[in-house]
Amino acid sequence: MLQLLEITGNLNMLGYAIATLAPGLGVAWIFSSVINGTARQPEARGAMMGTAFIGFAVVEALAVIAIALAFVL
DSSP one-letter code for 4: P
What confidence tens digit (pLDDT) does each residue in 3-52 have?
A: 777 766 677 777 788 888 888 999 999 999 999 999 999 999 999 999 99
What confidence tens digit (pLDDT) does each residue in 49-63 have?
A: 999 999 999 999 988
Cβ-contact 22, 61 below 8 angstroms:
no
What is the structure's pLDDT at 12? 75
Question: How would residue 66 be classed by pLDDT, with cut points 50, 70 and 90?
Answer: confident
Measure Cα distances from 10 to 19, 38, 69 in Å: 15, 44, 13
Look at the alpha carbons of 25, 27, 30, 31 in this order and tell me if their dihedral is positive or negative: negative
Write down all domains in the chain, each with its CATH number in brackets: 12-72 (1.20.20.10)
For residue 2, pLDDT beyond 70? no
